């Protein structure tokens, strides 16, 4: 399963990272690497909660793919 991370930079310099396929998985970071790390952590927590509740099929592999918004 590939989870696409979309990155964008705010006017104040903060980075926004979100994973559109997982609603509500969006974070801010002071740097691009920080935003990516934080969104990956949040995504894994959300996936774990969904698996635990039975709303998400167990998965074998997860890959994060980053792309910066134009």
The parent domain of residue 12 ranges over 2-68
pLDDT at 70 over 70: no
Strand partners of residue 49: none
pLDDT of residue 50: 84
Query: What single string gives the DSSP state of each residue in 2-58?
Result: EEEEEEEE-TTS-EEEE-TTSTT-EEEESSHHHHHHHHHHHHHHHHHHHHHHTSS--
Q: What is the CATH number of the domain that holds 13?
A: 3.30.2390.10
pLDDT of residue 59: 63
| pTM, full prediction | 0.79
pLDDT of residue 39: 97
pLDDT of residue 28: 97
Over the stretch 19-68, which tens digit does the pLDDT of each residue have? 998 989 999 999 999 999 999 999 999 988 888 888 766 666 667 778 77
Q: How many domains does the chain have?
A: 1
């Amino acid at each position: 399963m590939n989870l696409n991370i979309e990155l964008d930079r705010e006017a104040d310099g903060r980075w926004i990272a979100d994973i559109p396929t997982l609603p509500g998985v969006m974070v801010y970071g002071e740097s691009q690497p920080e935003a990516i790390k934080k969104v990956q952590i949040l995504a894994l927590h959300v996936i774990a909660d969904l698996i635990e509740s039975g709303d998400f099929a167990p998965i074998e592999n997860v890959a994060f793919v980053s792309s910066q918004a134009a």
